[in-house]
Structure 1
Amino acid sequence: MLDKTFLEVIRKRQLLPEDELTATAEKLTGRPVFIRNDLNWLLYGGILALTSGIGMLLYKNIDTLGHSILILLTAASALLCLYFGIKNQPEDNINKNHPTDYLILGGSILLVSFIAYWQYQYNIFGTRYGLATFIPMIMLFAIAYKTNHKGVLSMAIINLCAWLGISVTSRYMVMQLNFDNDNITIAGVLLGIALGAYGRYSAIKKWQSHFSFTYENFGFHILFLSLLRAIVQYEFVFLLWALLLGAFAFMQHRFAIKEQSFYKLFFIALYSYIANVLVIFRILDFLDFSYEGITLFLIVQIALAIAVGAYLYSTHKKMKQ
């Protein structure tokens, strides 16, 4: 409809000769429709639906089949998916979506499910909870680098975060599912810095550079979320964490402008604004401000939000030009 309307406007204004207009109309109506992204989303959704359906089916028939049979079926399904996926994967598969990618993704999900189920049912790792995440993490990193699969790499990094969280937490806190301690926050900050630095280093050195965005993206969000947690968690030195967040925000802002990345710029503004609200709110709480002071604080924050929104809007327009 948009193309036909556009052509009608050109015809009414007589901007093109009729023969050229007819040829343009034929090209527009005969051009292919790009549905690659839609198919990719459908395939990823299909993999998630398949693995979820298998899990529900096994759960409902657990009394009939037994835990051992279910574990074996999960392991066999994972190995079959990975075997056929890796065997039939094209040699040059970097940044290309191939049907085997979905087999590899499904096999990786089933592999993690197999190890988790095995640990839950038979407690094969005992109280060494870190091994339950460390072993699948190593497997996922190996599969990701073997197949150049970004989705599997994301799963490996998530397992890395889980393993690190368990490793720096005491056994009692893991059993109570209580991860509210200083070690988690500091580990998150260091992990975020390490992932971001490694991603940028791999891009500069062009070593597995197609993975650089995945590392940088995880590092970026883990770092800022950990710093926000530190501002809330530490009562007397929260200003130091806020200054550290500001320094990283400034550095990442320069990278975002240089790379023309509005995605990164948006989250820098979001995290910085949240940090600003947390810091000022803690200062007001410490100074025990009156109702008028809190009202002024709200007005300033609304004005600041409008200013940040206007900056993002103008920057986005410049990036599109």
Structure 2
Amino acid sequence: MNKFDSENTKQLLDKKLITENQYEEITAYRGLTIFSLNAELKFFLYLSVLLFTSGIGVLIYKNIDSIGHIAILSLLLIVIAVCFYYCFKNAKGFQKTETTFDHPVLEYLVLAANILTCIFIGYLQFQYKPFGEHYGLATLVPTIVSFFCAYYFDNKSVLTIAVTGLAAYVGLSVTPQDLLKNNDFYSSESLSYCAVMLGVVLILWTIYSNRISLKTHFSLIFLTFALHIISIAAISNLLHHDILIWMIFACVLACSTFYFYKISYQFKAMSLYVFMIVYGYIGANIFLARLFENVDFSDIWELFVFLLPIYFIGSIVMFIKLIKNFHKQIAE
């Protein structure tokens, strides 16, 4: 047992939260130096699902002419049906509270079935166009399936696919790389408004779900998506040439920062707090730069060069201090 665990256990005993006998049992158990491989095994299961589904995609791409479209679609459909059959057979049914499978492998079987479903519908639309030219429907259908699977099987990984699909349906791409490269918020005001509206919808759904106690452990996922989508859309439009537009999005970013500051304490979510600070800091600097963009600082530029390192060092120190204070407050 390391020093940190030993001190924490001793504090529990001093506060009379555990008995002397419990303290001795905990100390003896930790002295066995037993560690769990649960996280590592789940990681390899998750990796195996990604490799399997990626392999299916590569197989289709390289052998599409020799295998045939009908054969590929039939094979995908059979695999999907088998996966969902075992999942529904072993599932406990829909429950509003957090539930798990008796065997953790089935959780990743749900993920595999859901990814293959997305591949099946996408390939079907690309080859045979059952939805005609309405490509949004080809995105909406797997999104609905993903939301159903996420809530029925209580699967967070599938929920992220569902929210990503929902964002794609309204014209976004919310993968970490594409969100910054492909979404042209600056030149498309409608896309920016859609991003903010989607973020607000996710927040409202989180509030409603918590009120009716519906899968409340999903809240952090919805809020994380909302934070990133709203903040990036707002920051992108702080560079807009129209003063009215960038002022509007400055207010949006300010409201978003304040809300996620409060909600990060409510959920004790370090990730929300850190990204809230980062987005707020970037937005505040851009806002100040826009306010003084027409002011001539040529006479005092040397002062700025001198103060700039101090400003950034002070920002880093303040960031670390805020993180430490947050961690201290949520730990109490």
Alignment match, 2:74: 72
2: CA distance between counterparts of 1:241 and 1:23?
Answer: 56
Deviation at 1:26, TM superposition (A): 5.9
The answer to whether residue 262 in structure 2 is matched with residue 271 in structure 1 is: no
Greater relative CO, 1 or 2 (CA 8 Å, sep 6+): 2
Are the structure 2 counterparts of residues 35 and 163 from structure 1 closer, same or farther at C-alpha, using a change threshold of 3 Å? Answer: same
2:101 is equivalent to residue 94 of structure 1: no
Q: Secondary structure at the match of 1:232?
A: coil
Please state if 1:287 is matched with 2:291: no
TM-superposition CA deviations, 1:249-274 (whole Å, max 9, x none): 12221222344332221111111011
- Which residue is 2:323 aligned to? 312
Classify 1:286/1:123 alpha carbon distance in 2 versus 1 (closer, same or farther; 3 Å): farther
* 1:171-182 pair list within 5 angstroms: 180-182=187-189
Distance in 2, matches of 1:194 and 1:23, equals 48
- Whether the 8 Å contact between 1:196 and 1:218 is mirrored in structure 2 is no
For the 8 Å contact 2:118–2:142, the answer to whether it is kept is: yes
Q: Which amino acid aligns with 1:275?
A: G
Give the match for residue 14 of structure 2. Answer: none
Report the alpha carbon displacement of residue 197 of structure 1 after superposing the two structures with TM. Answer: 1.8
- Counterpart Cα distance in 2 of 1:205 and 1:282: 43
The 8 Å contact of residues 100 and 154 in structure 2, kept in 1 or not, is answered as: no
Larger CA deviation: 199-208 vs 40-49: 199-208
| Unaligned segments of structure 1, at least 5 residues | 7-21, 167-175
Task: State the match for 2:137 in structure 1.
Answer: 131
Deviation of the 1:55 alpha carbon:
1.7
Does the 8 Å contact 1:188/1:223 carry over to 2?
A: yes
CA offset at residue 294 of structure 1?
5.4
Structure 2 partner of 1:256: 264
d(CA) in 2 for partners of 1:85 and 1:112?
Answer: 17
Task: Give the aligned residue type for 1:223.
Answer: I
Deviation, structure 1 residue 302: 4.2
Q: Which runs of 4+ in 1 moved over 4 A?
A: 22-26, 176-180, 296-299
Query: RMSD in angstroms over aligned alpha carbons?
Result: 2.9
Bigger shift: 182-191 or 145-154? Answer: 145-154
- CA, structure 1 residues 50+193, in 2 after alignment: closer, same or farther (shift >3 Å)? same
- CA-CA distance at 1:24 after TM superposition: 8.5
Q: Encode CA deviations 1:268-292: one digit per residue, 9 max, x unaligned.
A: 1111011122223334444354344
The more displaced of 298-307 and 196-205 is: 298-307
The 1:254/1:146 distance shift into structure 2, 3 A limit, reads closer
CA distance 1:243–1:300, change in 2 (3 Å): farther
Q: Which residue of 2 aligns with 1:50?
A: 52
Structure 2 unmatched ranges of 5 or more: 7-23, 173-181
Q: Is the 8 A contact 2:45 2:108 kept in 1?
A: yes
CA distance in 2: counterparts of 1:138 and 1:304, whole angstroms: 43
SS of corresponding position for 2:98: coil
Q: 1:52-75: per-residue Cα shift (whole Å, max 9, x none)?
A: 122222322223202222122222
Query: When the two structures are superposed, what TM-score results if normalisation uses the length of structure 2?
Result: 0.78
Structure 2 vs 1, CA of residues 24 and 254 (structure 1 numbering), >3 Å: closer, same or farther? closer
2:222 alignment partner, one of 205, 211, 215: 215
Partner of 2:64: 62
- Is 1:205 the counterpart of 2:235? The answer is no
**What amino acid does structure 2 have at the position aligned with 1:124?**
P
Instruction: Give the 3 Å change call, closer, same or farther, for CA 234–137 of structure 1 in structure 2.
Output: farther
The offset of 1:108, in angstroms, is: 0.4
**Which digits, 9 at most, give the CA deviation of each residue in 1:235-260, with x for residues without a partner?**
31323322331222122212223443
Asked whether the 8 Å contact 2:227–2:276 carries over to 1, the reply is no
Corresponding pairs, count: 295
**What is the rounded CA distance, in whole Å, between the counterparts of 2:85 and 2:159 in structure 1?**
18
Which residue pairs with 1:171 in the alignment? none
Percentage of pairs with the same residue:
28
TM-score normalised by length of structure 1: 0.80
| C-alpha spacing 1:302/1:27, structure 2 compared with 1 (3 Å) | closer
Matched, 1:227 2:234: yes
